[in-house]
Amino acid sequence: MFRLDWRSWGSWRRLAQQLRRSWRSSLQFRTVAITVLASGAAIGLVGVYMSVSVGNDLFQSRLTQILVDSNRATSAAQGILDSSDAVDRVQVQTLLESARTSISAASSSRLVAVFRVPGQESSTVAPQDSSTFGSSTAVISPELREAVQDDADGQFWQSVTLASDDGSSVPGIVVGSQITVPVAGRYELYIGYSLADAESTLLFVQRTLGGAGLALMVLIGAVTWIVVRFVVAPIQVAAQTSQKLASGDLGVRIPEKGEDVIATLARSFNGMADSLQSQIKELADLSEVQQRFVSDVSHELRTPLTTIRLAGDLLYDQRASFPPATERTAELLHTQVERFELLLADLLEISRYDAGSVELESEPTNLVHLAEDVIDGMRSLGDSKGSEIRLAAPGGHLAAEMDPRRVRRIVNNLIGNAIEHGEGKPIVVSVDSNESAVALSVRDYGMGMTQAEITHVFDRFWRADPSRKRTIGGTGLGLAISLEDAAAHRGWLQVWSSPGAGSCFRLTLPRTTGVALTVSPNPLPPADADTAGFVSSHAEPRRDHHA
């Protein structure tokens, strides 16, 4: 019994997978495969048509020859019978043997059968039926015999399968007609002809057509491979060049050869690359100038700001001795100078991110402890706004690789925003972890945001309500910087919000540097959220930073 080896099955599977990969990835392989398959189908159809046509022609030609030979042999035998004056059984039997010998000689066939036509008067001199068909006698069908018996002058034939000397089967034709034996009456004459020679000729033609077809398919495949190689090679060069260009190698170009379509494509591509390189250089120069301007202005403002701060602190310390109006002015000056310092610090930080010069100082840090420190520092501010800050940490008591200064800044910004917009309601800070990530969520129950507002929540200097004052001295860059800090860690900063139901900001960080995030330990929307609220997609920075 046939058994399929699992190792052979595995080899076939690997081969099928490799073919599928080649089909998807190689234009050259796909083109050659389609051409060979289509050509094979066409060659197969033509080959089948030619084989059938040749077979039919061979059969018709051989049939015509057989019918002529059979008619000649029958006429010769009937002539021998008609010229005889035999009257007894022995003479008639001898006469019939002579006629059969004549038939075999005239038809070149050793398969001859003679049967007395049924329905005649019995005769003592009539020879017995005889046949040299041997085991093939059964091929003389009743339908053929009936046709011969009904028409004494007709000639009838039938395609049959004859048994050869070696026991194999070969196609053949049996031709039937009637002869008249003197004294004995009418007899059915059947002559069998083998078509083995025609079959051999047809098999030779089919083998020749098959071999020629296979050779033609191989030649078509080879020619297609060569032609496609000449056509695809420049396309592959263009694809590789475009990949290098997309990866940042702006100086790469496609070689320009000739005046054909490929050369035109190369010139157009190179022109596009030149224009792109020029525009990118201009934008890079402009961005560098802008970043340098922000950085220089921020640095240059520090010196006069320091002087103003010293003078302001002096006035602020002596405000009790001033008239009420002057005292209020000193307090405002002190507050705005502090806010100005924060704004300068944020602008410098944004300029570092814009320049791509941020480097993380990662160390194992417990996010729960970090959150506790931030909450302790902002509890008095929350109390002043009427918001109680709670910490929920069912998990997350494991250290993760992070820059604690930047993560602390993110948590400060998120809790500060929650206090700002929480409308005096409780604020819940949740920390949890799984095997690959740690997450911190800040949930408030304040005014919330609409979907349109969520799309701008991480924009620089954006406020949901422009007429609303910043009551805790923010600069308008807090969430933008927090987003950049999260992205520098390859983390997520996401937000859910619903008008009237509050907001929830979720920070998710990988526990190990460089590990891609797949799922956050904290749910978003939060468990107590209205499912009709809005959730932003992963809030990612506008550029790729080198952290």
Contacting residues for 35 by C-beta, under 8 A, at least 6 apart: 220, 221, 224
Provide the edge-to-edge strand list for the sheet that holds 111-116: 130-131, 111-116, 185-194, 169-181, 156-163
DSSP state of 539: B
Q: Which long-range contacts (CB under 8 A, 24 or more apart) does 107-110 make?
A: 107/69, 107/70, 107/72, 107/73, 107/191, 107/193, 108/69, 109/69, 109/191, 109/192, 109/193, 109/194
Q: How many helices (H) and strands (E) does the chain have?
A: 11, 13
CATH class of this structure's domain 253-358: mainly alpha
Query: Which residue(s) pair with 498 in the sheet?
Result: 502
Residues of the chain below pLDDT 50:
1-2, 4, 6, 538-547
Q: Where are the domains of the chain?
A: 253-358, 360-465+475-530
Cα angle 438, 442, 443; round to 5: 130
Backbone angles phi, psi at 332, to 5 degrees: -65, -40
Residue 414 CA, distance from chain mean position: 43
Distance CA 472, CA 468 (A): 12
Nearest in space to 382 (alpha carbons), one of 335, 411, 424, 412 = 424
Q: What are phi and psi of 503, to 5 degrees?
A: -140, 160
Considering Cα of 368, then 373, then 374, then 376, what sign does the dihedral take? Answer: positive
DSSP 360: -
- State residue 175's pLDDT score: 93
Say what the pLDDT of residue 357 is: 62
> CA separation (Å) from 282 to 287, 326, 349, 418, 545?
8, 51, 24, 41, 20
3-state secondary structure (DSSP) of residue 425: coil
Beta-carbon contacts of 176 under 8 Å, excluding residues fewer than 6 positions away, are 140, 144, 145, 147, 148, 155, 156, 157, 158, 188, 189, 190, 191
**Closest C-alpha to 494, from 486, 502, 358, 389:** 486
Class of domain 360-465+475-530: alpha beta
Please state at what angle helix 27-82 crosses helix 89-107, rounded to 10 degrees: 150
d(CA 516, CA 541): 16
The whole-model pTM stands at 0.47
SS3 533: coil
Q: What is the pLDDT of residue 546?
A: 34
- Rounded to 5 degrees, what angle do the CA atoms 131, 132, 137 make? 65
Q: Which two tokens stand for residue 361?
A: 């100082």
Please tell me what DSSP assigns to residue 292.
H
Looking at residue 434, what is its pLDDT? 85
Instruction: Give the DSSP letter string of 387-402.
Output: --EEEE-SS--SEEEE
